[in-house]
DNA sequence: AAGGTAAATCGTAATCATTATTATTAGAAA
DNA sequence: TTTCTAATAATAATGATTACGATTTACCTT
């Protein structure tokens, strides 16, 4: 996902182009790490001192619902990052030091074909945590 | 994990036997679902109207650190349940309706033997969410 | 270009889960 | 029983997130 794609999706769904929205998206486009609402606010208040939490959270919710951002919960806080480009389902290794991620092409659900008959599976979560080569 | 085991561990580590502690453990022993701090408090305040959050959270932290309870994050809230009896590493299916769990004997890390060389893996999370046969 | 309208934002307060603080109570060892 | 210390109660503080009324802005229409 890049800036252009994101704006196409937003426009298609009737969302207006605002400078705040654009800067939030730019921050994600230039950062492969997972970021919190506070991370965003801290950076953005340099350019827009009046930026409020409401604006940040409202836009994050919009972006997630449109599939522009993906979200996960790390140590009790919601974290966001650009939706991956790769078109096939995958999971993530997340570095607990620098926050960078690495795609894991394997999905454990592939092995569980008939392991849960009678169960209705809605979704699943698989994440690996540790240190990336640079941080080790 | 059962009550007796839990108390053995607590005693071995110098923790005192109190009625609050015992009731918290009994609630977990009789409920296979994941519970929140609020779930516990709501039930326990019937017997102990003066029960406070501090007591609940402090004991939850103790129990988790001693391996009596296990913890996971579900929709932004910390949830707890008795540590499973099974001695070998596994994961969980969690019913989003009734909260009951089912053990999944497969671990995706088994498939990732040399998939992450140079990475230091600290831990991982694999959970499946959906509806159990009774709730479907 | 000007005006109208709904969306977006601001400023701030409220809420919810969790943690911290201080005084008091209660296990359990001597 | 006395004493020591862990455990608890009551309450306040914190931090993330959500809500709300007032204001501003994007953008559509004329």
Q: Would the pTM count as exceeding 0.95?
A: no
Instruction: Name the closest residue on chain B to residue A121, using Cα atoms.
Output: B130
Q: Is the CB of B19 under 7 A from strand C?
A: yes
Round to whole Å and give the CA distance between B120 and A135: 9
Q: How far is CA B48 from the centre of its chain?
A: 23
User: Helix B37-47 and helix B53-65: axis angle, to 10°?
Assistant: 120
Chain C positions with an atom below 7 A of a protein C-beta are 7-13, 17-21, 26-28
Task: Please write the tens of the pLDDT for every residue from B7-54.
Answer: 999 999 999 999 999 999 999 999 999 999 999 999 999 888 889 999
What is d(CA B132, CA B136) in angstroms, rounded to the nearest whole number? 6
Question: Is A127 an interface residue toward B (CB < 8 Å)?
Answer: yes
* Distance of A15 CA from D29 C1′ (whole Å): 18
Q: Is A89 on the interface with B (CB under 8 A)?
A: no
First to last CA, chain A: 29
Q: Is the CB of B20 under 7 A from strand C?
A: no
DSSP state of A68: S
pLDDT tens readout for residues B86-128: 888 999 999 998 889 999 998 999 988 788 889 999 999 999 9
Q: Are B48 and B23 in contact (CB under 8 A)?
A: yes
Answer yes or no: CATH 1.10.10.10 is held by domain B3-82. yes
pLDDT tens digit string along A61-108? 999 999 999 999 998 899 999 999 988 899 999 999 888 999 999 899
Read off the DSSP letter of residue A111: G
Burial A85-119 (b: 16+ CB within 10 A, else e): eeeeeebbbbbeeebebbebeebbbeebeeebeeb
Rounded Cα distance between B28 and A68, Å, is 40
List strand residue ranges (DSSP E) for chain A, in order: 69-74, 77-82, 91-95, 101-104, 120-131
Smallest CA–CA distance, residue B40 to chain A, in Å, is 20
- Whether B130 and A122 lie within 8 Å, measured CB to CB: yes
């Amino acid at each position: 996902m890049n800036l252009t794609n994101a704006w196409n999706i937003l426009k298609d769904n009737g969302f207006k182009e605002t400078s705040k929205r654009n800067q939030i998206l730019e921050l994600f486009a230039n950062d492969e790490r997972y970021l919190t609402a506070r991370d965003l606010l801290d950076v953005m208040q340099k350019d827009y001192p009046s930026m409020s939490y409401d604006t940040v959270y409202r836009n994050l919710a919009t972006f997630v619902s449109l599939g522009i951002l993906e979200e996960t919960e790390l140590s009790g806080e919601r974290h966001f990052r650009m939706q991956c480009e790769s078109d096939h389902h995958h999971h993530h290794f997340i570095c607990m030091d620098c926050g960078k991620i690495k795609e894991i092409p394997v999905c454990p659900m592939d092995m569980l074909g008939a392991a849960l008959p009678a169960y209705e599976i809605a979704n699943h979560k698989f994440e690996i945590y540790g240190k990336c080569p640079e941080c080790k």
